[in-house]
Structure formats: structure tokens, C-alpha cells
Amino acid sequence: MTRSLDSHSPKLAGRLASVLAAATCLVAGASVAAAENVELRMATLAPTGSSWMKILDKAAVDVDKATEGRVKVKYYADGVQGDEREVIRKINLGQLDGAAVTSIGMSMIDESIRVLELPMMFDDIKELDYVADKMWKHFQKKFAKKGFRLNDRGDVGWVYFMSKTKVESLKDLKSLKVWMWGDDALVKAMYKKLGISGVPLGVPEVLPALESARITACYGSPLAAMALGWGEKVKFMTSMPMSYAIGATVLKEDALKKISSEDQKAVEKLTKNASKSLRKKIRKDNDDSKKKMKRKGVKIVDSPADMVQEFRTAAEAVWKEQVGKIYSQAELDDVLKYRAEYRAKKGGGAAATKAAK
């Protein structure tokens, strides 16, 4: 016996109508959400008025204009949201949407990106650029899998040791109370290898620690040192940079889903342009800050060849030891491969100790 569909058509029609109504509501809701004004809450350690904030603030204004006010970016500068570990925690809790961070902050999302900041790895900036550009998409994919948008690379600069007393040898450095960013696994490993007893502190704690003599040496780029007030508290800086520090803005993908695809494209384009401008500006300002430090009486001390070699030997051991802990063997191999590729094309790079002169 065959049942007629007609006998059930009123019920079927009712069910279909309910399903279609629900679907319509969902689509409409999604459209409304995408059309709503969105404020992206971003945190950074960068000081108000610094080169970093000038570029980030300009990018925020550009985003507002490009999206006709639908997307606004609010930056909490000066580390008011805490050190970078705390900032990433707040992003994961939904209290913030993103941040402009150093590689330390990025490492709280995926630590393997630190392979681009290995101590004593690069001889000049162009060498770093070549390697980082080759590998950046790899890290963007890794961040995406963890729910984050990793935007284009920014800059912090060459990292030097700065101290209250002259450092002409590893022995001199070991005799000081040297700051160590508590969340920096690479520097911690490097200090251990060199026999340096670091004083673990967050970035906001460094200035008062220098003032109170809790620490007598720190490390950073000239621009960061001047922007954060450290440059006023030290008298000497090594000519040897330990590494080149990078940064980037990261955004939680959940926050971006609130923005229409059209506005997302505009934000992405402006962010990419801002990153390029930032790298160019920060590099110039690091040079200018170095000159400013010298005018204020900070002396750049030539790092002897034996000290440089001690750092290189320790660094190369650290590169190998951190495989499987911070990054994979394949990632380290890629850095070395692309570095060799660049050097083969350019005929080698300048010695790292020349970067400070």
C-alpha cells in the first residue's frame, strides 16, 4: 500500500517553512554581525610617541578611513595591559583581540618562530630579510592553525648589551647583574651556556631595576633602549650584537570573523603596508638612536675577537640543543639553507661586529 504525499503536505510545508525561516534568520544575523562596527582591541609594550606607535596609530586611522568607520583599532600602549605573556593570555580569554608584539609574544602562540632570532645567526639585515621572507608563510600557517592571524613582519633591531661599566670580555659581562627577559628561552639557554647569571624580569621592570641597581646591564636595540628610558641609565654598549629582534602584529581569528570579507581585505592591505613602513622607519631610527646615545655619553666598546668567538661557539651549541624544544630540525635546517643560499648569491655578509659601528 502506497502513502500519498498530499496527505502530509500541510505538515511538510510547515516544517520546510520553519527550516527556511531559521536559515533566513541565521543568514540575516551573520550579515548584521559583519556589517556592525567593530573595534579591535590591541595591546603593545611600545611607548606612546615612539616610532612604533606613530606608525601603528597612523595605520589605525587609515583602517578607520578605508572601512568608513566600520572597523576601528584601539591600541593600549606603554605595556598597560601587562607583559607579552599576560597580553597573549588576555587575547585567549577574549579580553583583547590582538597585539603588536616582539618574538617573545609570538612565541607564546608558537615558539618555533624563535628560530628566526637565533643568537649570532645573521651577519647583516639583508641576510635576515632573505631568510625571514622565505619562511614567513610557514609560520603564518602554523599560527592560523592555532587561531591567530600573523601579519607581516615588523622590526625591533640589532640587540646589544648595555651596561653601567665597561664590558671588554665575557668575564666582564659575567661579573655584572645582567637582565634576562623571564620568558626568553633562547637568552636563558645562551646565558647558561656562557655562564651568565641572569636576573629574570619583565620589560616594564627593567627601568626601575636599572635605577635601583638591581641590574647593572641589560640588552636591547638602541631605539628600544631610548624609547624605554634605559639609554639614560647606562654608560656603555658592546659593538657586538647578540641577535636581531623582530616583531609583528597578531590577531585572533575570532575577532576577524566579526569583520566583513571586504573590510578584512582592506585591513590586511593596510597592515602589510604599515609593516613595510615600520621596518624602514625602525632601521633608520635605530641608527639615529645609536648616535643619540653616543651624544649623551654612551660609549660603544669594541668587542674583542675572542669574546665574539666565545659567543659564536656558545650560540652554535644552543642552535643544536634547542632542536625539539623550541623548533624542529627541519626549521633550523631551512634557516641555515636559506642563509647559505643568500651568502652564495651575495658572496657573504659583513661581520656581525661591524653592525654597531
| Residue 31 within any structural domain of the chain | no
For residue 109 the three cell numbers come to 602562540
| Residue 2 within any structural domain of the chain | no
Q: Please list, in sequence order, all residues whose beta carbon lies within 8 angstroms of the beta carbon of residue 254, skipping any fewer than 6 positions away.
A: 94, 147
Strand partners, 284: none
For residue 274 the three cell numbers come to 604599515
For residue 76, what is the enclosing H or E element? strand 71-76
Query: Are the CB atoms for 311 and 173 separated by under 8 Å?
Result: no
- pLDDT band at residue 119, thresholds of 50, 70 and 90? very high
Query: Are the CB atoms for 353 and 308 separated by under 8 Å?
Result: yes
| Residue 3 within any structural domain of the chain | no
Domain count along the chain: 1
| Residue 110 within any structural domain of the chain | yes
- The span from the CA of 45 to the CA of 34, in Å, is 30
| Residue 152 within any structural domain of the chain | yes
Query: Are the CB atoms for 97 and 42 separated by under 8 Å?
Result: yes
**DSSP annotation string for 153-221:** EEEEEEEEEEESS---SHHHHHTS-EEEETT-HHHHHHHHHHT--EEEE-HHHHHHHHHHTS-SEEEE-
| Residue 11 within any structural domain of the chain | no
Please indicate, yes or no, whether the overall pTM of this predicted structure exceeds 0.95.
no
Q: Give the N- to C-terminal CA distance of the chain in Å, as an integer.
A: 96
| Residue 261 within any structural domain of the chain | yes
The per-residue pLDDT for range 132-189, each reduced to its tens digit, is 999 999 999 999 999 999 999 999 999 999 999 999 999 999 999 999 999 999 999 9
The per-residue pLDDT for range 175-231, each reduced to its tens digit, is 999 999 999 999 999 999 999 999 999 999 999 999 999 999 999 999 999 999 999
Residue type, 60: A
- The span from the CA of 26 to the CA of 348, in Å, is 59
pLDDT at residue 320, as a whole number: 98
CATH number at residue 177: 3.40.190.170
Domain range enclosing 132? 37-356
| Residue 28 within any structural domain of the chain | no
Query: Are the CB atoms for 253 and 144 separated by under 8 Å?
Result: yes
